[in-house]
């Protein structure tokens, strides 16, 4: 046989390695895959429609216990599959390659076990599951488009209709924002637009989940600063504006970005257009304001220099250079405080406390020595019980990072090790990520449980935020079934934590107890939890594992974000959107130019349709090749 095989190898244009050792190595992998799948004891919990898919998932996880990189290269020398696209049909791929290998060496091989799914079955199962979850196949592309609905989606029917006409297939309602009244109006507009356009639109309602955020912070000083806009040479191009309004009344400036100044009503009534106001600002600088516009609700004043206003500062009203009788007033104490913040730089100490008192910045002696470290509360105080010394912590989408230095009964001390070179300011209501901590927080918050009453009646899918454990999934399904008899929304697992990623196979098996489910790669939090350097690797693994389970994936976070907000995409955004072709759905976030972004994404996906499906390149005829040979 060795001589025969050697002669066979000599017939190849490029001589491959010996086949026998490859067969032996691949058989070991194949047998281990089948045995580990058979050893799993809880498959009976999986819905009957997902049984074969669950078996294939188990086989894929067993397959990926092996490092077969060298074997892959040697298989390609024989013109055989490298096993690099085995996700959907693991055993079928292994058995087919092994059968071909045995035929090459002239041996018979008849395995006893039949694969749970074969090639066409696997492809059709994923397509059927995608249709079931995300709606029918859109014309001209395989990948669906999901759009996060803005709050005005409930009052702007034409926006919803235009999104459908420009390629939206699914609408996402974020339950962390707005309220049931707004959600209901959005749902009504979606259903109305469906009927008008004849296009289907599935609705995902995303539960807010437990919001681990920084607590309140003591407000800053009561200071209002205005500055004119100057050219590069220092010439005033646009004066600074401030809105003077009666103290005790809600300011109503013509432009919401204009700073507001509460003043005594009687004094304000004396003013006319063209009058000037003289003052010495908080820095002791002499300044002048000119009244440019008068309305019933307030007066608009302008200045050509920077001014700092504080409560009690004296204003002197003048007309034609003369001070008016009783023309002196003081700025009210109702001047709004500046937004509170805690300045932090690398090396600083930050104390997280269970107390819900407003946070404070650090205090220092005159000689610069620390007398009291910065302190801040968190939205879920009991989380501090789960933290351990040495674990990392991130704030505000990864802008500020630290290491837990000491866990005490009522507080946790954090040493800051990541900010911008000049430092950063930590504010209230900013997200907290604890990627290496074993947190015992229920995935469903009290708000989520209340929102579920509405969600089960109106949603096609419900997004489970911060899904970390199989019990989280089972609890959600159980509660939905208790609220609604018959069909309940499909569950979409939002993978946005390191723990959720590490538990993904178990989470999928729990979700597959229902007839339909999906996964969203929430790349924002996931990047912070796993590290930006590892994000590409993690999202690839999620795609592979979900394909093995025949579960559709939603590719989310910052897709064409620049275009949605400004109207112009970056080159990196277009490439990222094209990479999303490997998922079954791509999600866009809201923005002023969301209709244009939706249309652009539909065009990108249409063009990529002929070149890529999942991670397989499609070799259609290239016009560039045709032009080359014509020349």
Give 163-202 as a 3 state SS string.
HHHCCCCEEEEECCCCCHHHHHHHHHHHHHHHHHHCCCCE
Fold of the domain built from segment(s) 342-433: M1 Pyruvate Kinase; Domain 3 (2.40.33)
- Are 203 and 461 in contact by the 8 Å Cβ rule? The answer is yes
Other beta carbons within 10 Å of 19: 21
Distance between alpha carbon 432 and the CA centroid of its chain, in Å? 14
Burial of 232 (0-12, 13-18, 19+ CB in 10 A): exposed
Which pLDDT score is estimated for 395?
A: 96
The Cα–Cα gap between 54 and 44 comes to 10
Q: How far is CA 421 from CA 342, 399, 401, 496, in A?
A: 16, 11, 13, 28
Other beta carbons within 10 Å of 246: 19
- Please identify every stretch of the chain with a pLDDT value under 70, giving residue numbers as ranges: 1-5, 256, 617-619, 622
CATH, domain 126-210+442-617, list 3.30.700.30, 3.20.20.60, 2.40.160.10, 3.30.460.10? 3.20.20.60
The Cα–Cα gap between 478 and 513 comes to 11
CA neighbor of 170 nearest in space, from 210, 142, 213, 133: 133
Q: How far is CA 441 from CA 211, 215, 334, 356, 476, in A?
A: 10, 17, 40, 19, 14
The Cα–Cα gap between 502 and 68 comes to 22
The Cα–Cα gap between 545 and 33 comes to 15
Q: What are the structural domain ranges in the chain?
A: 2-117, 126-210+442-617, 224-330, 342-433
- 618 DSSP 8-state letter: P
The Cα–Cα gap between 505 and 57 comes to 8
Spatial neighbors of 553 by CB under 8 A, at least 6 apart, are 518, 519, 520, 521, 542, 543, 546, 547, 583, 584, 585
Which pLDDT score is estimated for 626?
A: 77
- 362 DSSP 8-state letter: -
Q: How far is CA 515 from CA 124, 201, 470, 482, in A?
A: 16, 20, 16, 17
- Are 201 and 460 in contact by the 8 Å Cβ rule? The answer is no
- Are 528 and 397 in contact by the 8 Å Cβ rule? The answer is yes
* Secondary structure string (H, E, C) spanning 21-76: HHHHHHHHHHHHHHHHHHHCCCHHHCCHHHHHHHHHHHHHHHHCCCCCHHHHHHHH
The Cα–Cα gap between 152 and 30 comes to 55
The Cα–Cα gap between 449 and 471 comes to 15
């Amino acid at each position: 046989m060795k001589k025969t095989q050697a002669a066979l190898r000599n017939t190849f244009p490029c001589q491959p390695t010996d086949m026998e050792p490859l067969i032996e190595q691949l058989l070991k992998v194949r047998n281990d895959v089948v045995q580990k799948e058979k050893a799993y004891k809880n498959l009976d919990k999986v819905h009957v429609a997902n049984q074969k898919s669950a078996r294939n998932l188990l086989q894929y996880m067993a397959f990926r216990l092996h490092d077969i990189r060298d074997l892959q290269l040697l298989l390609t020398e024989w013109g055989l599959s490298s096993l690099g696209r085995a996700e959907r049909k693991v055993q079928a791929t292994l058995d087919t390659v092994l059968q071909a290998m045995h035929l090459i060496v002239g041996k018979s091989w008849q395995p006893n076990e039949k694969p749970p799914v074969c090639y066409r079955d696997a492809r059709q199962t994923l397509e059927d599951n995608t249709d079931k979850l995300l709606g029918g196949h859109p014309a001209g592309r395989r990948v669906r488009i999901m759009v996060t609905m803005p709050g005005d989606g409930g009052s702007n029917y034409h926006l919803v209709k235009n999104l459908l006409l420009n390629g939206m297939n699914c609408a996402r309602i974020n339950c962390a924002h707005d309220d049931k009244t707004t959600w209901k109006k959005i749902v009504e507009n979606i259903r109305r637009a469906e009927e008008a356009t004849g296009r289907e639109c599935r609705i995902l309602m995303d539960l807010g989940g437990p919001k681990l955020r920084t607590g309140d912070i003591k407000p800053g000083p009561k200071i209002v600063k205005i500055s004119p806009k100057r050219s590069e040479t220092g010439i005033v191009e646009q004066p600074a504006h401030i809105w003077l309004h009666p103290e005790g009344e809600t300011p109503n400036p013509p432009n919401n970005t204009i700073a507001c100044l509460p003043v005594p009503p009687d004094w304000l009534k004396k003013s006319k257009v063209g009058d000037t106001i003289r003052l010495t600002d908080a820095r002791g600088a002499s300044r002048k304001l000119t009244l440019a516009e008068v309305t019933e609700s307030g007066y608009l004043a302008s200045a050509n220099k920077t001014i700092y206003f504080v409560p009690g500062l004296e204003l002197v009203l003048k007309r034609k250079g003369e001070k008016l009788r009783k023309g002196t007033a003081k700025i009210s104490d109702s001047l709004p405080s500046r937004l509170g913040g805690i300045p932090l730089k690398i090396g600083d100490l930050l104390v997280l406390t269970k107390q819900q008192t407003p946070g404070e910045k650090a205090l220092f002696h005159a000689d610069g020595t620390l007398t009291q470290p910065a302190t801040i509360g968190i939205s879920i105080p009991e989380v501090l019980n789960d933290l351990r010394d040495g674990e990392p912590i991130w704030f505000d989408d990864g802008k500020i990072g630290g290491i837990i230095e000491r866990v005490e009964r009522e507080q946790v001390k954090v040493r800051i090790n990541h900010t911008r070179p000049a430092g950063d300011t930590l504010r209230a209501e900013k997200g907290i990520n604890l990627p290496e901590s074993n947190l015992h927080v229920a995935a469903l918050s009290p708000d989520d449980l209340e929102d579920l009453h509405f969600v089960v009646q109106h949603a096609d899918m419900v997004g489970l935020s911060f899904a970390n454990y199989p019990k989280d999934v089972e609890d959600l399904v159980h509660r939905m079934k208790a609220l609604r008899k018959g069909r309940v929304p499909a569950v979409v697992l939002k993978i946005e934590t390191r723990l959720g990623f590490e538990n993904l196979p178990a989470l999928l098996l729990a979700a597959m107890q229902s007839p339909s489910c999906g996964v969203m790669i929430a790349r924002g939090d996931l990047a912070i939890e796993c590290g930006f350097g590892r994000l590409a690797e993690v999202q690839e693994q999620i795609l592979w594992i979900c394909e093995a389970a025949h579960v559709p994936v939603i590719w989310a976070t910052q897709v064409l974000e620049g275009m949605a907000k400004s109207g112009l995409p970056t080159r990196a955004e277009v490439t990222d959107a094209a990479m999303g072709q490997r998922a079954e759905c791509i999600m866009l976030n809201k923005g002023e130019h969301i209709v244009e972004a939706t249309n652009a994404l539909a065009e990108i996906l249409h063009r990529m349709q002929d070149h890529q499906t999942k991670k397989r390149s499609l070799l259609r005829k290239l016009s560039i090749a045709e032009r080359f040979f014509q020349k």
